[in-house]
Amino acid sequence: MPFQARTTRTKPSYGCPFKPPPLTSPFIAAVVMAELVVAVPPLLRADQAEQRYNEAVQAAVEKCAADTAGQTCYICMDGTAEEGLVRGCACRGGAGYAHLSCLARGAQVAVERSADGLGFERWHTCGLCEQRYHGVVSCALGWACWKTYVGRPEADHARQLAISVLGRSLFEAEHFADALSVQEAELSMLRRLGTSTHNILIVQGNLASTYQLLGRLEEALRLKRDVYSGRMKLQGEDCYETLLTANNYSTSLLALERYQEAKTLSRRTVPVARRVHGESHDLTLSLRWNYAAALYRDPSATLDDLRVAVTTLEDVGRIAQQVLGGSHPYTVHIEGGLRASRAVLRARETPSASA
């Protein structure tokens, strides 16, 4: 599910597959534990950053070992360095192989050289293919980012963005309990600093996504519904952030098997995403996937519903292959949905033996 990162842009243009208002805001009615002031979790302590980073790098290098064997870092071009290589984006062929430390240094330099702060994207997005890092590589870069800025004052903007990057990277690496601790600390920090409703909505949306993957489904649904309502009031239906929160709200409806509500939401938001962002945008693909899932998972689905689901997933899968590549986790996720929808359709089209 897409997960949203905070940025310095007036209108952020990124959020991820698979990614969350001051206390007086009228937009959020739900009261959740994450909104209380919480102590800094041990994993965010400055004296833990180096160890966490080293462990994450080792895990990333080991995970990428088979894919990176015999390759050279495209940044330093040093094929003899002791540090292993990683690749966790959408680069193909011989592109995209790098040392984690080189990626981290490149991101740090990009931030230093960027007057408007947009260089922070290099902490989570490949500079070659312009797609997000995923899995263990994203996790290692998250810890590298936090290690770089954790020593700064809490009010420092780079430090605030670093905790957001870390929470996202832990989520994408499926370290959901750690991601929850970081997101709760981030939300508490932003409330203390009196940040904007826009940023609070982002963190609450991310927090809701983590609730869902920890099995706290009703909490996730309530918070996602309120965040979506807040976005509609704040920015309108065409805004990227509104569509992203709609997508996350839809995943909660699916998880609770509320298929009619999910289909109604999808029929309202998919045309908007296609019009505003185009067919190949990751958010459009995700919204269409959710619509197809609501169709084929619904026990009351008609044959026409099932055929629409299969056709939709075939099209979404083809686009994902072209844009992200066959090995990207989201492409794999789509293919799994396509197999499941085809199986349901075959079962309905084939008369049973007792018929």
State what percent of residues in the chain have pLDDT above 70.
87
- What does the block give as tokens for 253? 């409806």
pLDDT computed for residue 78 by the predictor: 84
pLDDT of 35 higher than 50: no
pLDDT of 164 higher than 50: yes
pLDDT computed for residue 97 by the predictor: 93
pLDDT of 168 higher than 90: yes
| Mean pLDDT value across residues 197-211 | 93
Exposed e or buried b per residue across 241-267, where buried means at least 16 C-beta atoms within 10 angstroms of its C-beta: bbbbbbbbbbbbbbbeebbebbbebbe
| Mean pLDDT value across residues 59-88 | 90
Backbone angles phi, psi at 35, to 5 degrees: -85, -5
pLDDT computed for residue 17 by the predictor: 33
pLDDT computed for residue 41 by the predictor: 87
Q: Is 11 helix (H, G, I), strand (E, B) or coil?
A: coil
pLDDT computed for residue 335 by the predictor: 96
**Are 145 and 6 a contacting pair, CB within 8 Å?**
no
Sign of CA dihedral 162, 168, 174, 179: positive
Of the candidates 126, 142, 176, 150, the residue with the CA atom closest to the CA atom of residue 55: 142
pLDDT computed for residue 3 by the predictor: 52
pLDDT computed for residue 94 by the predictor: 82
Across all residues in the chain, what is the average pLDDT? 87
pLDDT computed for residue 62 by the predictor: 95
pLDDT of 26 higher than 80: no
pLDDT for 88-140, tens place per residue?
A: 898 888 889 999 999 999 999 999 998 766 789 999 999 899 989 999 999 99
pLDDT of 18 higher than 50: no
pLDDT band at 32 (very low <50, low <70, confident <90, very high): very low
pLDDT computed for residue 11 by the predictor: 29
Gyration radius of the chain over CA positions = 21
In angstroms, the CA 131 to CA 122 distance is 10
Q: Is 111 exposed, middle or buried (0-12, 13-18, 19+ CB in 10 A)?
A: buried
State what percent of residues in the chain have pLDDT above 90.
75
| Mean pLDDT value across residues 147-167 | 95
- What does the block give as tokens for 225? 């519904």
**Are 131 and 90 a contacting pair, CB within 8 Å?**
yes
pLDDT computed for residue 352 by the predictor: 60
pLDDT for 269-319, tens place per residue?
A: 999 999 999 999 999 999 999 999 999 999 999 999 999 999 999 999 999
pLDDT of 70 higher than 60: yes
pLDDT for 114-123, tens place per residue?
A: 876 678 999 9
> Is the pTM here over 0.85, yes or no?
no
pLDDT of 36 higher than 70: no
pLDDT computed for residue 85 by the predictor: 95
pLDDT for 220-274, tens place per residue?
A: 999 999 999 999 999 999 999 999 999 999 999 999 999 999 999 999 999 999 9
Domain boundaries, the chain: 1-238, 257-348
pLDDT computed for residue 191 by the predictor: 93
Q: Selecting from 3.50.50.60, 3.40.50.2000, 2.40.50.140, 1.25.40.10, what CATH number does the domain 257-348 have?
A: 1.25.40.10
- What does the block give as tokens for 312? 């939709």
